[in-house]
Amino acid sequence: MQTATYFDHNGTTRLDSRVLERMLPFMTEQSGNATSRHSAGRTARQAIEQAREQVAAAVGAYPSQVVFTGSGTEADNLAIHGIAMANGVEQVLISAIEHPAVSRPAQALQWHGIKTGLIAADANGVIQPAALKAAISGATKPVGLVSVMLANNETGVIQPISELTEIARQHKAWVHTDAVQALGKISVDFAELNVHAMTLSSHKIHGPQGAGALILDKRVDIRPLLYGGGQEKGLRSGSENLAALVGFGMAAELSTSGLATRREHMEKLRASLEQGLAELGATLFGARAGRLPNTSFFAFDGIEGETLVMALDRQGFAVASGSACSSDSTEPSHVLMAMGVNADLARGSVRVSLGYANTMQEVDAFLLTLKGELQRLRKLTAIAV
């Protein structure tokens, strides 16, 4: 079954063979503890610093702004909890379409007496500057922290972060963006976005699982999540995950080289995919907004998303029915709810997220299979009714 066509790149990606090659020596013979001062430890330290430079270069940041973590989720938690707690923030605003890695820690701040409000999305899944202004003026306390993702994991819709940042900064709020889905698909520039903190993840860019980073403006005070040996300048204790960080660095470097070509390739495939989807009568979510080049989020009226996903899986196509983390729940997607999509239609949602290694043949085969499955499922529904 592992030879199936993989269309779930927003869930996780296949490790690039060049990344694996770079990691292998660090998984075996060169596996010193980076904090040790003997030569094995120093080799480890140098490798981590090189990875830090690679990650920084990929997103227009300085190496000193990179705080390595164990995952994107951890970086999000560090940003939300850490910035709110260290700066006496009383009110946090997050967008209504955030990943749970942002929304859950934001909600958990209530235990510390910190309020969290939502910034509404429009029907296309965009967080408009006007919505942020409305949320700020609607808040009962001064807003201290704003978090809006750079690109949504379900719809792929790209958010106007620079504009949102400008508004937030006028109100003296810190700004965080989760750029986990954006890196490797569009260009990401920390300085240009002008945010204070930005989350990255390795396994979404053909790097290994187990590594992430928070890119952090050093002027921002932040309270660590993990205390101990004082690694990452005290911001993230714990022996460094050497091989994963080395892999992350390499993957970050590869994610920006040849980006335009890969982007073009994915856009071409997606245009063909979406033309086919339209012919089959799909509703495409976020269609009128600027989106990542690889993501299509759609539904067919009267067809349950889970059922369709399972049917496609049996035919050898790996797609998702929402974000992987919540794909075992039957609640309609909170992203689609925020966009005002009807709950029944939202329950039919299916996400195809392409990778640069996917081919036009795979897209054509997918459309053909989809057509057949839709006919079959519609017949079944007709009988049931």
203-232 residues near another protein, rule: CB under 8 A: 203, 208-211, 225-231
Q: According to CB under 8 A, which residues from 264 to 293 bind another protein?
A: none
According to DSSP, the residues that pair with 95 across neighbouring strands are: 119
Q: Which is nearer to another protein, 131 or 336 (by Cβ)?
A: 336
Which range touches another protein (CB under 8 A), out of 30-38, 142-150, 275-283, 364-372?
30-38
One residue of 23, 51, 148, 173 binding another protein per CB under 8 A = 23
Q: Which of 323, 206, 194, 317 is nearest to 254 (CA)?
A: 206
Rounded to a whole number of angstroms, the minimum distance from the CB of residue 19 to another protein is 9
Q: Which is nearer to another protein, 40 or 280 (by Cβ)?
A: 40
Give the H/E segment covering residue 254: helix 242-256
Rounded to a whole number of angstroms, the minimum distance from the CB of residue 49 to another protein is 14
CB neighbours of residue 266 within 10 Å = 21
Which range touches another protein (CB under 8 A), out of 96-104, 184-192, 251-259, 268-276?
96-104
Active-site residue flag, 315:
no
Q: Which listed residue (260, 278, 310, 325) is catalytic? A: 325
* 129-138 helix and 161-170 helix, angle to the nearest 10 degrees: 30
Contact criterion met (CB below 8 Å) for 179 and 192: no
Give the 3-state secondary structure of residue 147.
strand
What is the x/- site pattern for another protein, positions 3-22, by CB under 8 A?
-x-x-x--xxxxx-x--x--
What's the CA gap between 367 and 385, in Å, rounded? 27
Q: According to CB under 8 A, which residues from 311 to 350 bind another protein?
A: 313, 317-321, 323-328
Q: Which of 307, 297, 314 is nearest to 349 (CA)?
A: 297
Contact criterion met (CB below 8 Å) for 240 and 68: yes
- DSSP H helices in 59-172: 72-86, 100-108, 129-138, 161-170
Q: Is residue 107 involved in binding another protein (CB under 8 A)?
A: yes
Q: Which is nearer to another protein, 5 or 65 (by Cβ)?
A: 5
Q: According to CB under 8 A, which residues from 292 to 311 bind another protein?
A: 306, 309-310
Q: What 8-state DSSP symbol labels residue 15?
A: P
Contact criterion met (CB below 8 Å) for 232 and 221: no
Percent composition of the chain: helix, strand, coil (DSSP 3-state, to 5): 45, 15, 40
Which range touches another protein (CB under 8 A), out of 98-106, 114-122, 160-168, 294-302?
98-106
Structure tokens at 272: 């063909």
Rounded to a whole number of angstroms, the minimum distance from the CB of residue 101 to another protein is 4
Q: According to CB under 8 A, which residues from 70 to 89 bind another protein?
A: 70-74, 76-77
CB neighbours of residue 47 within 10 Å = 22
Give the H/E segment covering residue 361: helix 360-384
∠ CA(321), CA(286), CA(213), 5° rounding? 70
Q: Which is nearer to another protein, 21 or 264 (by Cβ)?
A: 21
Rounded to a whole number of angstroms, the minimum distance from the CB of residue 172 to another protein is 26
Q: Which is nearer to another protein, 6 or 126 (by Cβ)?
A: 6
Q: According to CB under 8 A, which residues from 230 to 259 bind another protein?
A: 230-231, 237-244
Q: Is residue 25 involved in binding another protein (CB under 8 A)?
A: no
Q: According to CB under 8 A, which residues from 164 to 203 bind another protein?
A: 201, 203
What's the CA gap between 89 and 224, in Å, rounded? 16
What's the CA gap between 102 and 81, in Å, rounded? 9
Q: Which is nearer to another protein, 66 or 243 (by Cβ)?
A: 243
Rounded to a whole number of angstroms, the minimum distance from the CB of residue 48 to another protein is 11
Rounded to a whole number of angstroms, the minimum distance from the CB of residue 74 to another protein is 6
Which range touches another protein (CB under 8 A), out of 26-34, 59-67, 256-264, 287-295?
26-34
The site for another protein, by CB under 8 A, has a size of 78
Structure tokens at 251: 């993957």
Question: Catalytic positions, please?
Answer: 325
